[in-house]
Structure 1
């Protein structure tokens, strides 16, 4: 293995000190891929079905994703409007997608025989996207990882669990964990983001016996190693110690996230259907218009979206994933400037809408299409021009005299300072209509 020098620091930062690309780019792709793509029944199948190592071995023996094309993955991410891509280097099952020197349980030892991480990194960089790794702190395959309440062997009974745990040593596992992270952060050039997953100490609101956390992972040392090898890398919050961002999973915060009263950067990681890995029979798929609303809502609350794809056992994105990415890309092509570089606004949006703002441009995302008029509080005299973002067609607006009572055909009754837009009757044929408002310089 070729060991390279530490990556160069990422020096451009935002107001919080975070690398500026993260809060600018807003939208990324998560990719969960491993042996669990073959049974195609959720990435936690080994846990859910209490599968032993011997029984799980068949998936290793038959892993041969002949349709895998990292360039296709990266191209689809870029065309969907995503700016960074995060790949599972190893999930909880312990299977490694790179040519690690520390275990034989890796993609290069399967029929496939290729370093997937290497091809992924090269393809993502070639598309001009940021490179991210996900790395599981958990490892149900490793012989030193002790049985606990998340382990597939957790229901084997006290006597058998004691026998299985005899001789297991978390200190040796910790050395393995740190060694693999060192490989990943020295042999693949600059890595922009590392998503560790996850901690579950019993005394930290987790109802899991034998739960593990910062002491088990050596989190302080692991984070120091990460930052030494990759200065400026973004690290999430799942080492059981503070990270750079917080990562709500499969829910949408309804306001900017805070720690101790201070707003923090955050990223909602979301799935298409509730599963992270390929789940063939799961049809509970989110629509494109729902996903676009989730993205806009997140940006309006100062957050990012990391949208997951689970490739099939043959290594390609399935039809549902491809169609979803195409739909997201169509919307982002016309509306990306309401997302990239945008964030919350101090103006209060009307019901069924959210604002994002970038400099003197305010973006009104219309979750429901109103009948002709939408009233914007506090914007009278502050807007110089308005247009639909999808086609740059002008939207008329005016301030309404609050003293006028609109009994029949006139507009009136709005509070002072309200700006009223006049929208077309026909809703634009887009997943989420957006009005772009150009604010006066002193707004």
Structure 2
């Protein structure tokens, strides 16, 4: 991490919105549609010729993100198809040459700042449209022998200058940018022949350029050399992430339905409860969640995404202090639960609602007060004698040092209930249970 980079906002905010948007919103069949269907540039051109998002309202996007509890937003400035959402001087393959005819990035940046949100850019290192990008196993024309032969003399160094030049444009045109997500290196990946990595992107020079232009920016790890944070995608890490045994900043990037771009017929929608659990699980392991939406070709966030984000926002409205600024706890949570902690507040997130009681090892004598976070109603602490066995209606059999809480039978009407535990100093032994 650069000496001038401050990651405090990142580990405080914990939740951000990812936005994948571009020409692929028109076919609405996944953002890799050009790759999956092996489309030629001429076949893909129809989406360029008809790209006119008349309902694009970045202020509404920013309000939706903020209402969902998100505090930073990351937009795809260019995806693997090479289409640019800004008026790049280095290509005509850009939004200002489409029927829409106007820069999309500037209004997005202004809208985020107006809502007090941090601004992030995604930029694809891959470019299937650029004439100097060497064909490889990710390319839509990877099975076209004649095309591959015609492209045999492409020099990645020519593409490097384009790549670096576009990054310079993005980081000098729109003021302070807080976050940069490069995507992605794949040298040595068995599923893609001719994979590209840091030497192909000239990653050391690229990262030096980024640091020079935006000294305070956070940069991910996908150039193939270390950045400021690492980016597990579409899975939840089993524990805090490390590099060589040392803890590292990390952020899970996740979709709402398995697709990043707008995918009209994909109905594999995650529930609000699952999203909350993913967020809490990550924070309990000292990580962030970057949750994606894929707006339609007209520029709307689709109704399924809008509805689930509203549900997420309602949970965050009541429970955000169990997430914001929190990290792992020193105690191990009971089964089907997660702990997060900030200072003397310990938060118990219940993924499953138990009958009447929950037992918290190691917390006897450490809790001054307990309450449900959603309504601040007291949770009673129960004295259980560890020296007595369980018998009939009398509880027992808990290890010494276990705190037992008595819960209402009815689960609170919220995706994941949270109990807020106010901790006492270790020296305080006048707390009973």
Residue 218 (structure 1) aligns with: 202
Residue 177 (structure 2) aligns with: 191
Select the residue among 149, 153, 159 that pairs with 1:162. Answer: 149
4+ residue segments displaced more than 3 Å = 9-13
**C-alpha distance in structure 2 between counterparts of 1:343 and 1:12, whole Å:** 20
Select the residue among 105, 116, 124 that pairs with 1:117. Answer: 105
CA contact (8 A) 1:399 1:417 kept: no
Residue 324 (structure 2) aligns with: 340
**C-alpha distance in structure 2 between counterparts of 1:79 and 1:206, whole Å:** 42
C-alpha deviations, 1:212-241, integer Å up to 9, x for none?
Answer: 111110100000000110012111010011
**C-alpha distance in structure 2 between counterparts of 1:156 and 1:22, whole Å:** 44
Does residue 370 of the first structure (1) align with residue 357 of the second (2)?
Answer: no
Query: Residues 134 and 363 of structure 1: is their aligned pair in 2 closer, same or farther, counting only changes over 3 Å?
Result: same
Select the residue among 26, 29, 33 that pairs with 1:41. Answer: 29
C-alpha deviations, 1:335-378, integer Å up to 9, x for none?
Answer: 00000000000111000100000000000000000001000000
Runs of 5+ in structure 1 lacking a partner?
Answer: 1-8, 14-18
Residue 100 (structure 1) aligns with: 88
C-alpha deviations, 1:288-342, integer Å up to 9, x for none?
Answer: 0001000000000000000000000000101001001101100000000000000
Select the residue among 143, 146, 167 that pairs with 1:181. Answer: 167
Q: CA deviation at 1:207?
A: 3.1
CA contact (8 A) 1:288 1:328 kept: yes
CA contact (8 A) 2:5 2:217 kept: no
CA contact (8 A) 1:402 1:412 kept: yes
C-alpha deviations, 1:181-231, integer Å up to 9, x for none?
Answer: 0000011111000000000112xx443211111111010000000011001
Select the residue among 51, 57, 68 that pairs with 1:80. Answer: 68
Does residue 269 of the first structure (1) align with residue 253 of the second (2)?
Answer: yes
Does residue 304 of the first structure (1) align with residue 288 of the second (2)?
Answer: yes
Q: CA deviation at 1:11?
A: 5.8
Does residue 140 of the first structure (1) align with residue 128 of the second (2)?
Answer: yes
CA contact (8 A) 1:399 1:418 kept: no
Secondary structure in 2 aligned to 1:244? coil
CA contact (8 A) 2:347 2:420 kept: yes
Query: Residues 196 and 359 of structure 1: is their aligned pair in 2 closer, same or farther, counting only changes over 3 Å?
Result: same
CA contact (8 A) 2:5 2:215 kept: no
Secondary structure in 2 aligned to 1:42? coil
Q: CA deviation at 1:10?
A: 9.8
Runs of 5+ in structure 2 lacking a partner?
Answer: 428-433
**C-alpha distance in structure 1 between counterparts of 2:63 and 2:147, whole Å:** 48
Does residue 21 of the first structure (1) align with residue 14 of the second (2)?
Answer: no
CA contact (8 A) 1:95 1:105 kept: yes
What is the number of equivalent residue pairs in this alignment? 426
Residue 301 (structure 2) aligns with: 317
Q: CA deviation at 1:99?
A: 0.9
RMSD of Structure 2 on Structure 1 (CA): 1.2
Instruction: State TM-score, norm by structure 2.
Output: 0.97
Instruction: State TM-score, norm by structure 1.
Output: 0.95
CA contact (8 A) 2:232 2:251 kept: yes
**C-alpha distance in structure 1 between counterparts of 2:210 and 2:5, whole Å:** 19
Select the residue among 372, 392, 408 that pairs with 1:388. Answer: 372
**C-alpha distance in structure 2 between counterparts of 1:243 and 1:420, whole Å:** 44
CA contact (8 A) 2:333 2:360 kept: yes
Residue 234 (structure 2) aligns with: 250
CA contact (8 A) 1:12 1:20 kept: no
**C-alpha distance in structure 2 between counterparts of 1:243 and 1:164, whole Å:** 32
**C-alpha distance in structure 2 between counterparts of 1:284 and 1:10, whole Å:** 42
CA contact (8 A) 2:5 2:218 kept: no
CA contact (8 A) 2:328 2:339 kept: yes
